[in-house]
Amino acid sequence: MTRKKLLPLFALLAGLSAACASIPSQEMSDARQAVQAAQEADAGTLAPEQFSEAQRLLEEARGALSLGNYSAARDYALLAKEAAIRARGQALGAE
């Protein structure tokens, strides 16, 4: 096959593999738990900016998940978890 004939085939395969991305269940769960732990540490009061960022990122993850964009949902969930961990750490350090 020539390169011109292979290009559409590669494009199709790339699209199919992206469509087959799995639901980021574990990442979403981890992010929700981290935000909950930050909330229990009173991060909303003691680290409001970081906690707000964690909540915003979790909402972005939920939105991406509902649209079927699993890759973006996974990325946002990981960022939300990291932000929540920072918020909790700051809140615990402020006590």
Note the pLDDT of residue 21: 75
Has residue 14 been placed in a domain? no
d(CA 64, CA 60): 6
Q: Is 18 contained in some domain? A: no
Rounded Cα–Cα distance for residues 65 and 62 (Å): 5
Residue 68 belongs to what domain range? 23-94
pLDDT, position 15: 58
Domain total of the chain: 1
10-residue mean pLDDT profile of the chain (95 residues): values are 61 56 94 98 97 98 97 98 98 84
pLDDT value, residue 94: 75
pLDDT at 53: 98
DSSP letters, 17-79, are: HHHTPPP-HHHHHHHHHHHHHHHHTTHHHHSHHHHHHHHHHHHHHHHHHHTT-HHHHHHHHHH
pLDDT per position as a tens digit, 67-80: 999 999 999 999 99
Q: What are the structure tokens assigned to 78, written together?
A: 């990981």
